[in-house]
Chains A and B, each alone.
Chain A
């Protein structure tokens, strides 16, 4: 496949670029691919080479055509080329630097494609030679570092980042890419940070920088001390962290926007279809077709930032204007106003250099909101693997957020109200909520909405057990915070309760199918314990006394479900099967719910009998509930308000390995040749020279 791609590129190239020039460089390449030292007959060979326009396709193709042994034979020349490339990076003339960078890309890719089976050490040997590797790579990294940090050309910087991305993603499994050991020793972390901290370079290269960082952090994450992890976890410069947040927000909202566009496009198409065909079944099919390539790399970056760096949490709440509506501004941000005397006082930074663009229609948003919207889109369809990964990662990020004190503080902040337009899956039995009528609420409501939405929309045969568990955990963690901090959130808890009860119902009705694959009792236990949390600690976080009454009402109304669950777990816990223990746990957890049902049901029946009513209204039931609390005794259960903290290393390592692999492959694919050999780039420098 790659071959055809290159062919295409080659054809296109040959038609556009000048022939004689190309010929010359190809000839020179051919010289390298001999065992002779090319500088023997032409002492200025290397100097001349980097003045030639690189023919990436040819070089890479040539390398690929050779097998391991043949390559070994010309190792000296390859090493020589590699070294000269590094040398050329230090040259003043940008053309040479550009050519050297491109040649390096081709070299690294070519050698790797050839040596898929061989070890990383062979590759180092092949490219640099063991003896010189340390020094060479050090020089390379230092050159890249200074290029990235210099006040030089933006396209040059971009090319540097591409080269680094190329280097990082040459292997599918990043941890096997031994050459990265040198990237670890000679850190370019600071260069990445610098790119993120300045608005101009952030806009140009932010995305690449963030992806690069996310990948580097995942290099041998669990086996060794990765300096990028260490460094990322201690960054506390707000400008940098904000920069990172902005890049991520931009990428995510771009996705959201694309999705929305597609959806709208689709809807108009659908309506025309509706005129021809009548059938509501269609919606589900139609919806599946709307899919935009998810961006796991950026999500991974968000995860690493949230997970590793506590300071990044503040960035989540940092406001930025809704970006979907804006076209990326190209004009440079106005230079800081100069103070009267022309000196810069210590806090001339009081001037908001990054003033929010003024646009009345633009709703301010923040990274968290953008992320929640993104999650709502990604999580609605978890059928294909990429989306499953994305959805899972979204939930993991939310788990981290739900565990953080500071994040919780602003999630629950009564003064920070937002309208969050979550995407809701169109379903037959409900109307699409009008966007305009959304209330402005604390952000935690949006998180809870998202969880409720997930719970009610994923009860399917291919049951995403893992995601459900995470979802319930997030709700639990939020409740723990509310209980601990006495936050009385005005949320329509009823929606959550009924979603949870429906989930239990689903688990029971699909018992046999699900039990074959999953331990449904852990999930059932978590759900029941959420109810226990409401029942025993409701006084600490429910908004009104009547919401406590409503809780009882809901339990009593749906008592059938709890009864069935109880008989199921009782049955399984008395059998000496593999589910004995987990099932018996659920039995114990149900004790209060059963007490409530057993306490109130007779009361309600007698009330109905006394008043000669066949069907009690909600108000009547609530009346019965209210007047009979005092005779009900509940058992206090242990550890309802405690949870196990998220830990990546022990439980998620496999997932992240797999995720990083798929991201690597993806990044490599998108790192196409045309991005490396931009005509633009050459034009820019030809004018300079």
Chain B
């Protein structure tokens, strides 16, 4: 039995692989083990001895398989070691150890030695470690070994934290959290905080130091914690003790006592030196703008604003306050919009509200959904749109930000007045963006620094107009560029230039034909046009019109602000999707899904990262009046073009992915408005408001597991087509992979059930 504990691994792995490869499910033992197998190899036995035992019985039968499979598995699981070695060890009973050593790389060099010594009792100890958690030092040490092994990942940590009743273990894991990569832990933040709020004292105590530590490090983390704590506490009764624990932590974070120490006196030393247009950290009422020109007028003005209460005091500002105000104003806008009756009014109000908001920017605010540090500098208010919703008013805004190295230390960018649009034509700012015929080739010239004479409309502007730069258009495919050259050259050489009327007409129709299909404006559905515009195109356009567009760190983000909707479920769905995505990736199932980021602000509001380049199928059908297949043909070309085939493959892969998601999560309320289609042909499901057996009020009987209409099948080439078969195969593979890693998925949901009203 010496080798048993270890060699167990392989058959289990083998079955997993076989199934993933598309063969029929193995025997009973195989399937049960599937459910618990995790990515690691060596530790598998440690985690689940039951499986190990069952698998043991099958070892001999599976010996044949082992050979082929394990070499396969090695390249696949690829836990970071050399392939030949275990392959060599394959034939004998040492295999398990080979795997073990391989997997435990650095800290585990010691661990593996320990294991060698205590091999015999292995399966036994581990089992008990899990079952009983008694003060058996030997058993504990096995657990410890597991915890110290490299294969102990965050998912396991969370699971132990949740399941373990042992304060020591919990405390240990609490400490162990510090060793994981921040991004990995961030993924489980909702779970951690929910445990903190709703589980007993010990778990809370175990988690708290880590949270506090991270809060000190990152302002974004602080914000997320504060928001989540608020949101997850909201379902509880006000007077409960636990509740107050969650709120206490929240208060602590918000009170800003977790301010990093290193930041303390750094800023004042920085501020006297305003570097290249970045104002000294804080935005005072009279900002340091082009001081040189304005000094005369401002000298006396400044003295007055000194009495202005808005001017900040010397002391360090509250770190989170600007961001919270920013979020608060966005939510407030949403609430106000909801009271307006028509889409049109909502849109207009939104634009005007945002233009007011713009006055307060740039600020020490950021979008938590972005993946990098930045400051919000401007909201291009005219680009914002109200999204389709019956009684609420979710809206989509674009946000211009300037990326910065480190949010905590970087200064807030200086405000640039709205009309100071720089020349976007200089090569450095605009490296070859997509050129379309409808290029708004506005040669927005640099506004000359105030000409102080009384004729502000200086004469040199006329010169500029006359020497209208024709090369602006030279990159476009039409020959209008020559046209305008002509109009200038002809002035010099007095020879008349003749043009054919037919050419003008032809150019007109050609140019219109070349513009990518765009949607018509519909006052009832203002978002359709905005969403249809290709993202790159939109970025270019907004950058051109932005006073900050010339800055190299300029980025465009977008976000959907939702008020009156509980996004906690969406967040859960995001986590599940993300987990599934990584499982499928790991298992190499080419399913495509697009988890979109969620920021829960409170129990009834939040932000969503929009899926770019995607419009809802409802909008497509309404706008194009085509069937989905015809729309694909229109957008991507004919059946045999590469572009169509790619789009079709994308469609199939995403469709299969989402069908599984819908099946697994029991996603309801699937209508065309909740299904998006992106420019590459992927479909994306949105709105996971009804998952896991909840469904829209009056539609409790929605029984179909997922949505697959004949139209979808048509796009795949019909029921008999190859692509449909591919679709079916993908579904199967995906399902098997998901089953295999089930616990990782279930765990996410399970923990969140604590103290919440989730179904």
Contact = CB atoms under 8 A, between A and B. Distances in A.
Interface residues of B, number: 108
Interface stretch (A35-43, A84-92, A310-318, A491-499): A310-318
Interface stretch (B187-195, B495-503, B646-654): B495-503
Contacts of B442: 405, 409, 484-485
A348 B465 contact: no
A222 B454 CA distance: 8
Interface string A429-450: 0000000000010000000000
B468 A484 contact: yes
A639 B491 contact: yes
Interface string B347-376: 111011101110111011100000000000
Nearest to B480: A540
Given A319-B355, A354-B356, A539-B511, A638 B487 contact: yes
A194 interface: yes
B348 A418 contact: yes
Contact of B505 (A194, A310, A539): A539
Interface string A150-171: 0100000000000000000000
Q: Among A194, A409, A486, A488, which residue has the most Cβ atoms of chain B within 10 A?
A: A486
B440 interface: yes
A636 B496 contact: yes
A539 B450 CA distance: 36
Interface stretch (A121-129, A225-233, A256-264, A609-617): A225-233
B757 interface: no
Given A319-B348, A539-B505, A635 B498 contact: yes
B459 interface: yes
A351 B360 contact: yes
Given A633-B499, A636-B490, A346 B312 contact: yes
A194 B341 CA distance: 38
Contact of B419 (A310, A345, A418): A310
Interface string A607-643: 0000000000000000000100111111110111111
B359 A238 contact: yes
A282 interface: no
A494 B412 CA distance: 51
Interface string B267-297: 0000000000000011110100100011011
A540 B468 CA distance: 15
B406 interface: no
Contact of B317 (A190, A345, A480): A345
Interface in A286-313: 307-311, 313
Contacts of A51: none
B418 A314 contact: yes
A415 B363 contact: no
Nearest to B363: A347
A350 B505 contact: no
B507 A539 contact: yes
A197 to B, nearest CB: 9
A405 B421 contact: yes
B61 interface: no
Nearest to B491: A638
Contact of A629 (B412, B461, B501, B529): B501
Nearest to B473: A486
B462 interface: yes
Interface stretch (B68-76, B322-330, B713-721): B322-330
A346 B496 contact: no
A675 interface: no
B119 interface: no
Nearest to A239: B359
A242 B301 CA distance: 17
B252 interface: no
Interface stretch (A99-107, A207-215, A508-516, A644-652): A644-652
Contacts of A205: none
Contacts of B529: 414
Given A234-B294, A358-B336, A484 B441 contact: yes
B440 A634 contact: no
Contact of A352 (B307, B329, B421, B444): B329
A346 B512 contact: no
A356 B353 contact: yes
A267 interface: no
Assign chain A's interface to a size class: 35 or more
Contact of A635 (B349, B383, B461, B496): B496
A352 B353 contact: yes
B91 interface: no
Contacts of B498: 633-636
A418 B523 CA distance: 11
A645 B317 CA distance: 48
Contacts of A343: 313, 315, 317-318, 321
Given A319-B348, A635-B497, A642 B255 contact: no
Interface string A191-206: 0011000000000000
Contacts of A631: 502
A345 B502 contact: no
A395 to B, nearest CB: 16
A346 B297 contact: no
A80 interface: no
Contacts of B671: none
A545 B503 CA distance: 12
A346 B282 contact: yes
A20 interface: no
B132 interface: no
A126 to B, nearest CB: 31
Contacts of B511: 539
Interface string A526-546: 000000000110111010110
B389 interface: no
A229 B454 contact: yes
B504 interface: yes
A480 B462 CA distance: 13
Contacts of A641: 468, 484, 487
Interface in A447-505: 480, 484-488
A350 B440 contact: no
A345 B301 contact: no
A363 interface: yes
Contact of B441 (A193, A310, A486, A630): A486
A341 interface: yes
A406 B456 contact: no
Given A352-B329, A363-B345, A344 B312 contact: yes
Interface string A558-575: 000000000000000000
Contact of B504 (A235, A347, A536): A536
B500 A234 contact: no
B568 to A, nearest CB: 24
B502 A307 contact: no
30 contacts: A189-B297, A314-B418, A317-B355, A336-B309, A340-B255, A340-B321, A341-B255, A343-B317, A347-B412, A350-B365, A351-B360, A406-B418, A409-B442, A418-B348, A440-B523, A484-B441, A536-B504, A539-B505, A539-B508, A540-B480, A549-B505, A626-B505, A629-B501, A630-B502, A634-B501, A636-B487, A639-B487, A642-B465, A645-B462, A649-B454
Interface of A: 149, 151, 189-190, 193-194, 221-222, 225-226, 229-231, 233-239, 242, 307-311, 313-314, 317-321, 336, 339-341, 343-352, 354-356, 358, 360, 363-364, 366, 400, 403, 405-406, 409-410, 413-418, 440, 480, 484-488, 535-536, 538-540, 542, 544-545, 548-549, 596, 626, 629-636, 638-649
Question: Which 7 pairs across A and B sit closest by C-beta, in order of nearness?
Answer: A319-B352, A347-B363, A630-B502, A629-B502, A346-B282, A350-B325, A345-B317
Given A236-B417, A487-B440, 10 more contacts: A221-B454, A230-B452, A233-B456, A237-B301, A348-B321, A351-B328, A356-B353, A356-B356, A364-B352, A548-B508
